[in-house]
Amino acid sequence: MPSAADIIKDYVTEFSRLQDWMLPIKEIAPDTYASMHKRYLELKVTLSSLGVNLTEIDRVKD
């Protein structure tokens, strides 16, 4: 069973990668961006509930 630290690390990594994919696609493929944005919000809520400060790592900001 993974530790809380491992879970947080995995979610932070996914959050960061998702943002890397989202930022350049926003204007090109709005439907794909909307789908990614949904996952972005899910990860953001989860990380916030785990006590992760997103101030420095949240690049999407919308």
Q: In this structure, is residue 55 part of a structural domain?
A: no
**The pLDDT of residue 21:** 95
HEC assignment per residue over 10-61: HHHHHHHHHHHHHHHHCCCCHHHHHHHHHHHHHHHHHHHHCCCCCCCCCCCC
User: pTM of this prediction?
Assistant: 0.88
At 2-56, the pLDDT tens digits run: 898 999 999 999 999 999 999 999 899 999 999 999 999 999 999 999 999 999 9
**The pLDDT of residue 2:** 87
How many separate domains does the chain show?
1
Domain extent for 29: 4-49
Q: In this structure, is residue 54 part of a structural domain?
A: no
Q: In this structure, is residue 60 part of a structural domain?
A: no
Q: In this structure, is residue 56 part of a structural domain?
A: no
Q: In this structure, is residue 61 part of a structural domain?
A: no
**The pLDDT of residue 61:** 74
**The pLDDT of residue 37:** 97
Q: In this structure, is residue 59 part of a structural domain?
A: no
Q: In this structure, is residue 58 part of a structural domain?
A: no
Q: In this structure, is residue 22 part of a structural domain?
A: yes
